[in-house]
Structure 1
Amino acid sequence: MSQRPYKDSSGRTLADYPRPSVAVDTAVLTVDAHHRLVVLEVRRPTSTGWVLPGTFLHEGETLADAVDRSLRLKANVRGLHPRQLHVFDDPHRDERGWVLSVAHVDVVRLEQLESRLADATRLVPVDAPGRLPWGHRGIIERAVDHVRADYLDKPDPAGLLGDHFTLRDLRLVHEAIAGKALQRDTFRRTMEPHLDATGSTTIRGRGRPAELFRRSG
């Protein structure tokens, strides 16, 4: 027996309502060699300028699959696992039509991106992303706020430094995320309860040996 189409209390089916297109856009953040927080952008294929990696959701596709497809095909980046950040639903955000963007964010090590950068991709400081369409600057700002909140009182939760690091290395990463210098003593007091000493040291340049730490737990 065929199933009747769903109708709501007004007698309308789902097809009777206008529906927006759904897009995914991803802010992939990292800290570059100059200790700046930067974001990955891709060149627009049909126009001049740059955008975040993104795509429209295909029929039967999950959001996570669409994100993965956009990063692979538009940025040549694989193996990331961005998390959902926010739904941008301003009906006028996109001049192409009514488009909802489910924004995602990921923070990765620089080496996960450097070897894959090509003419159609670039890393730019988050505070100078260029003239971006479709509200992408707002997505970057939201992503940066989200990551900064994660880094307020936890030592490098995204693992940009690897397993072992000095307090100076840790502070430089946190300063890059925060976008400002951090008071050294205050930073140390905040982070030390979440760190374990490894019992090892490292020597860089002509300075004294620096103690190596790892995250507690």
Structure 2
Amino acid sequence: MKTSKDVPATSLLDYPRPSVAVDTAVLTVAHGSLQVLLVRRGEEHHHGEWALPGTFLRERERLADAVLRSLREKAGISGRVPRQLHVFDDPERDDRGWVLSVAHVDVVPVVALEDALKSDGIRLASVSGEPQLITELPYGHAEIVAKAVEWIRAVYAESPDPGALLVEPFTLKELRDVHEIVAGASLMRDTFRRFMEPQLTGTGQMSDGTRGRPSRLWRRQQKHYS
């Protein structure tokens, strides 16, 4: 009869191990559409193609630290706190081998991306206006973009501009315009106002009327998505 001493000890090295990557969908609103930030790959594999900023996890590195490193080194973005979105684990998603991607997402005002976008290797792509470019992204990144769009539309349906894309203060019309761009659809004015207004704080001021008649100005009660 075998005892526990007769059973070989199991090591972590006895199990197959995938590589682990992090990829981040940085979303913004620009030129009247919802856009995602892409970087041109400088690596030999898929060299010159556009992709989401990402990297492989280093030994003993935290996921959040790898995300910040990739945004800083690949996209020139710092000072952000992206949130974890989803784990993409299709064994065939990456043509280099077995790679899990822990995808992240962040919503960034376009003004905060101006310096990064000065680089020829960084651009914005409309998630609906450039479908072929998005579809042809390598490493299953199109699926990550789709999941990120699904997420941002869900959070924007619940609260006013949780990604702080608008500069405060703003009018309800400006707020609805941003929400319509994110939603990719028109929103009923009165329904939108009734749902969002209780989540806003009035400033007691009016817009100057340079873009339409003067309107009340508001601030968010909630500063950012949770």
Q: TM-score, normalised by structure 1?
A: 0.91
- 2:38 maps to 1:38: no
The residue that corresponds to 1:4 in the other structure is none
The residue that corresponds to 1:87 in the other structure is 87
Q: Could you tell me which runs of 5 or more consecutive residues in structure 2 were left unpaired when the two chains were aligned.
A: 1-6
How far the C-alpha of 1:197 sits from its partner, in A, is 1.6
Deviations 1:46-71 (A, max 9, x none): 31320000000011111111111111
CA–CA distance in structure 2, aligned partners of residues 214 and 53 of structure 1: 32
Comparing both structures, which one devotes a greater share of its residues to helix? 2
CA–CA distance in structure 1, aligned partners of residues 203 and 93 of structure 2: 50
Choose the corresponding residue for 1:208, options 210, 213, 220: 213
Q: How does 1:1-217 map to 2 (within 5 A)?
A: 11-32=9-30, 34-45=31-42, 46=44, 47-117=47-117, 118-127=119-128, 128=130, 130=133, 131-205=136-210, 207-216=212-221
205-214 or 102-111, which deviates more: 205-214
CA–CA distance in structure 1, aligned partners of residues 127 and 39 of structure 2: 14
Q: TM-score, normalised by structure 2?
A: 0.88
**Once superposed, what is the RMSD of the aligned Cα atoms?**
1.5
Deviations 1:101-151 (A, max 9, x none): 000000011111122211000001112251101110000010111111101
87-96 or 197-206, which deviates more: 197-206
45-54 or 99-108, which deviates more: 45-54
Which aligned runs of 4 or more in structure 1 are off by greater than 2 angstroms? 9-12, 204-207
CA–CA distance in structure 1, aligned partners of residues 75 and 59 of structure 2: 22
